[in-house]
Amino acid sequence: MAISLRITLSLGFVFLFPSGIAVTKNPKGATYCEFYNANLCGKSATECPKREECPPPSPGKRNHCYVLWQHNNVTKTSTLKMKGCFFDSKECYDKVQCVENNIDRMKQMFFCCCDGNMCNDNYKWDPKPVDKNIINGDSEADQNPDLIFMTTVLSVSLSISILTIVLFLLYCHYKRKQFSHDNHPSPLELILQEQSSPNLDLRSIQLVEMKTRGRFAAVWRAEFKNETVAVKIFPNKGKQSWQTEQEIFRLPHMHHEDILHFIGSERNHDDLKTEFWLVTVYHEKGSLYDYLKANVVTWSETCKIAESIARGLMHLHEEIPADKVHGQKPVVAHRDFKSTNVLLKADMRACIADFGLALVFHPDKLCGDTHGQVGTRRYMAPEVLEGAINFTRDSFLRIDIYACALVLWELASRCAAHDGLIGEYTLPFEEEIGMHPTLMDMQEIVVHNKVRPLILESWRKHSGLLALCDTIEECWDHDAEARLSASCVTERISGLSQSLDVDFSTVIKVDNIDRSMDIKGFDM
């Protein structure tokens, strides 16, 4: 059997192609791919756009199309997860069909990518069989000494070239990690992070209305793929917070009903500025802070909100072992827990958001070099205000619990279950030290005087609120080690709504109070 080989020299590297195979690619042409995202498209792919145009790639890079799907080994059925554009990856080069060849793909998740417009229209799993003749050494090359010599020479040349390329790619990877963060996941990262979109295509996102502006970012209501989403936009100086939030959202087991649902992220840059976008599910009711300013809540709503807050915090604080589908979830401390970082869903359940200051505790690893006095002063625990934190995992979790107690107090203060007067909404410690406390103000009142927000006697006349107030007081205990855990708080609150026969189901709307304030620069 005659074997013909063509040797091509390019930039000092040797590339071998079987004769008769012509690989052509027009890197300048626009690439279109079939689009689908199970997180955005509902139950049917017909609700989504049929295709998306890939953004122009960087010089020397390519766009590809990809498919991500899941196979159930029990039912022998496959479920499509995502289709769309995929940024430059050697694994995808010059593949005209979308075929998964890996015989042992992790997590029953299958990924394939290809080059060319709409090449991800069809996809399949076709694991490469092992050639037994090659394993046994029984090949035609064994019988041809000249072919053996030529193959050896070419193999040595190819090995040197590959080694050179690998070293060059490693160097480029190091420089890219050192000087930039393009946030384009590898195929393996895509499989591990199937809940997020690998390429959002910012041109498809239409900003509609700015909702809030905080210290680190502004949050917009936006339209994306015919869906309403929230877009959190960080300026260039907020890049670290943007990166931290992504890392938290993409941890294994982070998809939870009481944690804000993450869609994806991108870097948006032009000639004048660079911005970092974080896209999440949009919740019309806004934050718990915003809602409580204009509304009081029923007892059943109070229980629902409080329980989902506790469950979300418990999920963050839990370490979840790896399983066949997901890796291990480490413990996460929020470190900026407050009512503006709790969002309300349409069904009045809460979900926790804003992980820009969060800290991850990996098993058998120290928490590293971190600053203890971070967060919002009003919600800082006594040990944080004092600068007396033990830099251990449990210490940071107890700080979250203290802040959670203040949020639950805000919720209780607007609950209509008791017979007493429901006053205007106030922030924790607003009555004692006003709207803009300094660090010294907080130290004086919380650390030295051990003051906590006032719990009215009328609240304690309602058996449910009495139990909630007892839980709150144990959570903001001055002694950090005496505070409850998030799992204990969840257990206590979960039974409150069933313990009462009476459900005050009327939601009382409060007249708009002229308490408008410029949220920009406002220190909660």
Q: Which of 346, 338, 385 is nearest to 212 (CA)?
A: 338
Contact partners, residue 13, CB within 8 Å, separation at least 6: 161, 164, 165
Tokens describing residue 327 = 């890796």
Q: Which of 228, 186, 196, 194 is nearest to 211 (CA)?
A: 228
Q: Is 179 exposed, middle or buried (0-12, 13-18, 19+ CB in 10 A)?
A: exposed
- In eight-state DSSP terms, residue 287 is B
Inter-CA distances, 122 with 33, 104, 112, 125, 227, Å: 11, 21, 10, 11, 26
Q: Annotated active-site positions, please?
A: 336
CA 169 – CA 295 distance, rounded (Å):
57
Buried residues in 296-307 as b, exposed as e (16+ CB within 10 A): bbbbbbbbbbbb
Inter-CA distances, 286 with 64, 79, 192, 350, Å: 37, 33, 30, 10
CA 384 – CA 132 distance, rounded (Å):
65
Give phi and psi for 20, each to the nearest 5: 95, -10
Q: Distance between the two ends of the chain, CA-based, in angstroms?
A: 78
| Cβ atoms within 10 Å, residue 510 | 14
